[in-house]
Amino acid sequence: MKMKAVLILSGGVDSTTLLYKMLADGYEVTALTFNYAQRHKKEIECASRIAGLLNVPHQVVDLSGIAGLLGDSALLGKKEVPRCHYTEDAARQTVVPNRNMIMLSIAAGFAEAQEVPEVFYAAHRNDSTIYPDCRPEFVEALRPAIRMGTAWHPVELKAPFLDLSKAEIVKLGLGLGVPYELTWSCYRGEAQPCLECPTCIERMEAFTLNNAIDPLLGR
């Protein structure tokens, strides 16, 4: 019998690669995508398209009602998206406070309700130097809290990319045939990637380090 799991799928490079990896590993995946009123809503459409392509059950969770509570992040369209590589300051401009714990706690409740034993998210090594809620110590702390909060059908938190760089994730995904042209990263969320914001720059680097061309840019 297949192992069941819930995956937080943003529609970006990392979580899409994780979805392909989980399917290759034999998981039966349900994907959740969060609408938190992010500026780059395009990623939600990307997630839907990818899930549809793979026949993966997919739900978009509407959290747009909480965006007003979460401060003035550039990701919520309240200030300009920085035009630079990830720096401490750029990270602070783009952080949505406690976003990952919010998404993971809802994913864990959803998993418990369906008696699905695992929740995955694609935090990785680059993220962990940037955002507090992507760090290994955060994952290690949250794991027992989720297990205890869902005690009747305990849910285990998995973050298998914690030790991988984004370039290593892209390497894995290229091997798995991930259609990166269907993914979206750019924080601006306009017609084409801006190639100036932190996540665009990081994405370009990850492909360059693999001597590969990002198929999203070739279109």
Q: Which lies closer to a copy of itself via its Cβ, residue 53 or residue 141?
A: 141
Q: Which lies closer to a copy of itself via its Cβ, residue 98 or residue 192?
A: 98
Q: Minimum Å distance from CB 101 to a copy of itself?
A: 4
Q: Minimum Å distance from CB 13 to a copy of itself?
A: 23
For residues 96 and 93, give the distance between their C-alpha atoms in angstroms, rounded to a whole number. 9
Q: Which positions lie near a copy of itself, rule CB under 8 A? A: 32, 59, 61-63, 65-66, 69-72, 92, 95-102, 104-106, 108-110, 112-114, 132-133, 135, 137-138, 141-142, 144-153, 155
Structure tokens at 40: 């780059």
Q: CA triplet 211, 215, 217: central angle to 5 degrees?
A: 100
Q: Minimum Å distance from CB 126 to a copy of itself?
A: 17
Task: Report DSSP letters for 84-139, one per residue.
Answer: SS--HHHHHHH--TTHHHHHHHHHHHHHHHTT--EEE----HHHHTT-GGGSHHHH
Q: Which lies closer to a copy of itself via its Cβ, residue 87 or residue 192?
A: 87
For residues 111 and 107, give the distance between their C-alpha atoms in angstroms, rounded to a whole number. 6
Q: Which lies closer to a copy of itself via its Cβ, residue 134 or residue 164?
A: 134
For residues 111 and 30, give the distance between their C-alpha atoms in angstroms, rounded to a whole number. 9
Q: Minimum Å distance from CB 128 to a copy of itself?
A: 11
Task: Give the residue from 152, 82, 73, 77 showing the smallest Cα distance to 113.
Answer: 152
Task: Give the residue from 91, 7, 78 showing the smallest Cα distance to 37.
Answer: 78
Q: Which lies closer to a copy of itself via its Cβ, residue 35 or residue 210?
A: 35
Q: Minimum Å distance from CB 152 to a copy of itself?
A: 7
